[in-house]
Amino acid sequence: MSPQIAGVLQLLALIAALALAYRPLGDHMAKVYSSEKHYKPEKWIYKAIGADPTTEMRWPAYLRGVLAFSVVGVLFLYALQRLQGVLPGSLGFRSIDPDQAFNTAASFVANTNWQSYAGEQAMGHVVQTGGLAVQNFVSAAVGMAVAVALVRGFARSRSGELGNFWADLVRGTVRILLPIAVLGAIVLVACGAIQNFAGIHEVGQFTGGTQQWNGGAVASQEVIKELGTNGGGYFNANSAHPFENPTPFSNLFEVFLILVIPFALTRTFGRMVGNLRQGYAILATMAVIWLGFTALMMWTEFAHHGPALQAAGGAMEGKETRFGIGGSAIFSVATTLTSTGAVNSFHSSYTGLGGGIQLLGMQLGEIAPGGVGSGLYGMLVMAVIAVFIAGLMVGRTPEYLGKKISTREIKFAACYILVTPALVLCFTAAAMALPTPPHSMLNSGAHGFSEVLYAYTSGANNNGSAFAGLNADTQWYNSTIGIAMLLGRFLPMVFVLALAGSLAEQKPVPETVGTLRTDKPLYAGLLVGTIIIITGLTYFPALALGPLAEGLAS
């Protein structure tokens, strides 16, 4: 079987698995977030944190809950790393330096999981399981909670109330993420992923000598890193490491975990607003972009010139022979079109145009299907922008899901789409202009610029993957990328929740013959075009200096 056919068959199998899970998971999540029942373990949690899950919150209160919980998370994870040297179960590793501890705390709380360290050489069992793995769960649950709050903004009228953040956080963790993670971890262990608390031990090498390895609760952390679109690896090689991702089947299963909740949330959205067709329209938009990027990536990496590439069947540099070009391309697109950041191949070694596809996937806002929660609310903000553009074209007041899109709503949406590009481009410009930061680049020229652009794109978009040629473990990059991650995560949430509150206060607008049908293919096409054009106008100059220049020169 040719590598191309194997790659296509993997993609078809993945689509079939996602289609099977779409309806039951989407309906389950809608029931979870609409239920008024609280299970006993959930009541214990509410009592422990002093929260009343029955109290409805307007958007400022909901936002305060998000920020307060996240601040506590940053402080706790920072303190845990700084104290690692005196904690039991730390495998003898020293405490983490202040700048790296800040970067890692910001990274995992912001659902970015950017890592400027080698996990197996820096983090012991306590930090890995008690700190990083916990944040993998709760940071994903925060994103889902904010998405559900925006959906309630569309579904509710004349109230301004968006639900209860603490209830949404606990339910998302206990009823959705935990059960799937337990089952997924069993699957990964069956595939060969390790799950233990072994210490550091010596292993022999085929070439002679020995090498040190440490064990860990890898399977349980691996499953939530993918399911929660987090991405931080237990080992420095991330999902290219055989302890994390042993077989081609586990590779495809991990891609499934990355995509299943973001895609299924579109059905949750349709169910909660009372119109499944609206969910299908958002799903179609996400699917068209994802499939287009996957096909383009596979074509780019399979295209080969010269005898060496012909013998390998494509551009195999930096890719795992276990997975091949097809499995690597599918994983790469899934991880950069979501906020996952996990890698099973060396992104810096992709072709110039392949690296550009990875960058563009993040720069779209990671909305196809995007991160857990963040993909849905990002796509809904773009849907509001698309409706506004359509209204300008036909001279009609824009409406979406029975809500008028007025100046106030457009300001919130515009601020949302401007925050991340401003962070990416300003920090990239500063890093290239100052004398010291460019010394961290492994390569010069267009590829070196791509390393820096990729780092800030990944950080501000809460992705976490890296071109890997850049030495980011410096005070400059640890600090600035940490700031970019926090601002890139929480500033957009401010505008999302403000938009949700504004929509929830409105009274519904009756549908007329002149109302734009936002559940039709025409609107889905308009939405795809809006996303591509806005991103292209924003990032094209930077892309032209980096991956496009490199790709055209090769």
The residue ranges of every structural domain in the chain are 3-553
Q: What is the pLDDT of residues 17-71, one digit of tens each?
A: 999 999 999 999 999 999 989 999 999 999 999 999 999 999 999 999 999 999 9
Which band of pLDDT confidence, cut at 50, 70 and 90, is reported for residue 309? Answer: low
- List, for residues 399-436, the tens digit of each pLDDT value: 999 999 999 999 999 999 999 999 999 999 999 999 88
**pLDDT at residue 307 above 80?**
no
Q: What is the pLDDT of residues 155-211, one digit of tens each?
A: 999 888 999 999 999 999 999 999 999 999 999 999 999 999 887 777 776 677 777
Residue 186 token pair:
């069993």
Alpha-carbon gap, residue 215 to 160, rounded angstroms: 50
| Helix or strand (DSSP H, E) at 211 | strand 210-214
pLDDT tens-digit series, residues 189-200: 999 999 998 877
Whether the per-residue pLDDT at 396 is higher than 90: the answer is no
Quote the CA–CA distance of 523 and 284 in Å, as a whole number.
Answer: 10
Q: Report H helices in 395-439.
A: 407-433
Torsion of CA 89, 211, 220, 329, to 10 degrees: 150
Binned at pLDDT 50, 70 and 90, residue 291 comes out as very high
Q: What sign has the CA pseudo-torsion 385, 390, 392, 395?
A: negative
| Model confidence pTM above 0.85 | yes
Binned at pLDDT 50, 70 and 90, residue 456 comes out as very high
Query: Residue 506: its pLDDT value, please?
Result: 92
